[in-house]
A and B are shown apart, each in its own frame.
Chain A
């Protein structure tokens, strides 16, 4: 593998950005993106787990027997998920409640297990860390963008952290929020359309 460190990091941001290029981790992408804040929060929680589990898996890659590797990876991932769960309960309780069941479910997020199996088990620690951070930030970016899009159309606001920073209704008084976008069916359709947009841009 002659790729440089930056290449491993950058590929997660566009070339292999989940959940678009790697069609993995769809559940949190659909479930929590009713606002930009939730999307970014979920993305950062996943990034933390990805980074830590990638580093630990690559450190232990010569110790773990091949036959039970999946079970070992799952235990490593579950440990870090519990860390995130407890940290969020302590420091970001409102966000923890908004994300609900999706925080413990990071453990079965295919992106995390997929990176451990496909990348961290074959590469050294520094590269695995770069890969985990890149893919994680790409996921955060995608979730933030999808959340922002749905929030603007569905509620007419944009929230990055805390209170809304932007409200369309104050700029355009006649604006009516398009409720559909923040409800369940909207999630599928907006993700599908975003994927279509990325295919359009990528094919040129």
Chain B
């Protein structure tokens, strides 16, 4: 149990998927202009990443390994993620319309979110057990959401600041993300 807590803390803070591993940076910059969209994206990622992490782990260990098809990992994972996203979208639309309206446009975007694919590949590369894979998938997603929401808060304030012309927009966003990354970097000594 203690090991799992250490793993969880390291995935949320020390190895934060956005700020330390650099996965999922396109939606990080794309959806962080407004707080609402950031919260929507964060929730959609938590939802899909946990399911994708579990399903890809099962597929890898019960389908690809026994039949010696490990070299097909990349194509298998992306197909699983794409169809999972499609399935989740249809399921939510039918049975939980309120949640569907909330996540809305962010669900299809997740297919090309490399945080999802990346976390699944890391689970396999590090040879995690099923429980560890479940915990890492969930905590990576929580770390993603935390960083995204914090960053959206900062970015809303930047709108009020007078930024020099060449630094405007993406440029200042990247520098800000660097400073945010520095604060997460300070957790490095913990684990």
Contacts and interface: CB of A to CB of B under 8 A. Distances in A.
B162 to A, nearest CB: 15
Interface stretch (B20-28, B39-47, B97-105): B20-28
B175 A189 contact: yes
Interface of A is mostly: helix
A27 B25 contact: yes
A110 B112 contact: yes
B125 A196 contact: no
A106 to B, nearest CB: 9
B122 A199 contact: no
Interface in B62-116: 71-75, 77-79, 82, 111-114
Interface residues of A, number: 42
Given A107-B117, A189-B175, A86 B112 contact: no
B178 A187 contact: yes
Interface string A65-80: 0000001001100110
A188 B121 contact: no
B23 A105 contact: yes
Contact of A191 (B21, B75, B111, B174): B174
A85 B21 CA distance: 20
B182 A108 contact: no
A113 B112 contact: yes
B166 A79 contact: no
Q: Which of B23, B179, B185 neighbours the largest number of chain A CB atoms within 10 Å of its CB?
A: B23
Chain B contact residues, majority secondary structure:
helix
A23 B27 CA distance: 11
B172 interface: yes
A162 interface: no
Most chain A CB neighbours (cut-off 10 Å) among B19, B72, B74, B177? B74
Contact of A86 (B71, B165, B178): B71
The size bracket of the interface on B is 35 or more
A192 B22 contact: no
A104 B117 contact: yes
B170 interface: yes
A85 B178 contact: no
B113 to A, nearest CB: 7
B74 A30 contact: no
30 contacts: A23-B170, A26-B26, A27-B25, A30-B25, A31-B21, A31-B23, A75-B75, A79-B75, A85-B71, A100-B125, A101-B23, A101-B118, A101-B122, A105-B23, A105-B114, A108-B112, A109-B114, A110-B112, A184-B22, A185-B182, A188-B178, A192-B171, A192-B174, A192-B175, A193-B171, A195-B170, A196-B167, A197-B166, A199-B165, A199-B167
Interface of A: 23-28, 30-31, 71, 74-75, 78-79, 81-82, 85-86, 100-101, 104-105, 107-110, 113, 183-189, 191-193, 195-197, 199-200, 203
Interface of B: 19-26, 29, 71-75, 77-79, 82, 111-114, 117-118, 121-122, 125, 165-168, 170-175, 177-179, 181-182, 185
Given A27-B24, A78-B78, 20 more contacts: A23-B26, A23-B170, A24-B26, A26-B29, A30-B25, A31-B22, A74-B78, A74-B82, A104-B74, A105-B114, A107-B75, A107-B78, A108-B111, A109-B114, A110-B112, A185-B181, A187-B178, A188-B174, A188-B178, A192-B173
